[in-house]
Amino acid sequence: MSDEEWKKLLSEEQYNVMRKKGTELPFSGKYTYNKGKGIYQCAACGNELFSSDTKFESGIGWPSFWKPAYDGSVKTIEDNSLGMRRIEVICGKCGSHLGHLFPDGPKPTGQRYCINSVALKFNKEEKMEKATFGGGCFWGVEAKFRKLKGVVNTTVGYMGGTFKNPTYEDICTDKTSHAEVVHIEYDPSKVTYEELLDVFWKVHNPTQFNRQGPDIGTQYRSVIFFYSPKQEALAKKSLKKLEDSKVYDRKIVTQIAPAAEFYKAEEYHQRYLEKHGLDSCKAF
């Protein structure tokens, strides 16, 4: 984006801070004392930067956080301006200046991300609902759901097995009965469960039993885990509608089962395609 385009997108104060690396006056920002629950996003591009769960009162006059929202949500670079060595914090997506990082934060990280309020947009946590789907390798499935308006968060992990606290290596033995799944938090006022189901059917082949493309094993099975009788009914109705449409010549083998304990997958699996600059898996 050109400098002129940034000027049109941002307010004068935002432009001076985020593109010219300025700093707002201490105790002047609207989020310095904000105690609301939610997600702090980049004011320039909307990228999720920090969770309110990691915000703390530092007493220095700017919003402070001890951990970013996810690996890669922010980046750090050396800043030798003003005759001193500092660590600058920029948005991991658009590169806009956010603030600086200092090694005097609370446990468990010991870090303080000192961020300008004007560089942030606070997305207040509303009453969200959840859904969990398994449709093969969770990298590609997650990427598809993250693009859907109304989906506020996704986490990949494991569900439906008999083994406690499984690792990816455990899952790959094909002996734990877990499925690779995407756990979704969504705003029902912006996207319905039926719309989530529509996306689920489109991102994989529900006629393939315990596999998706070249990926073979029970972890790759097609499954809908429901959290309420309403979700169960909608899932069954959606499945019947797909069967009646005769889109597939073969039988649909998707399981519809009660949600079980969800185990979050290792961090390197979260938003895998996004981290590696990919739009989709080859399977899609």
Beta strands across the sheet bearing 38-42? 48-51, 38-42, 120-124
Say if strands 179-186 and 129-135 run parallel, antiparallel, or are unpaired: antiparallel
91 is in an annotated binding site: yes
The one catalytic residue in 10, 74, 137, 197 is: 137
The one catalytic residue in 44, 74, 98, 114 is: 114
End-to-end CA distance of the chain: 30
Distance set, CA 151 to CA 143, 191, 194, 252 (Å)? 11, 7, 13, 26
Has 137 been annotated as catalytic?
yes
42 is in an annotated binding site: yes
**Distance (Å, whole) CA 131 – CA 154:** 10
Residue type, 57: E
Q: Could you list the active site residues?
A: 114, 137
> Which amino acids are annotated as binding site for Zn(2+), given as ranges?
42, 45, 91, 94
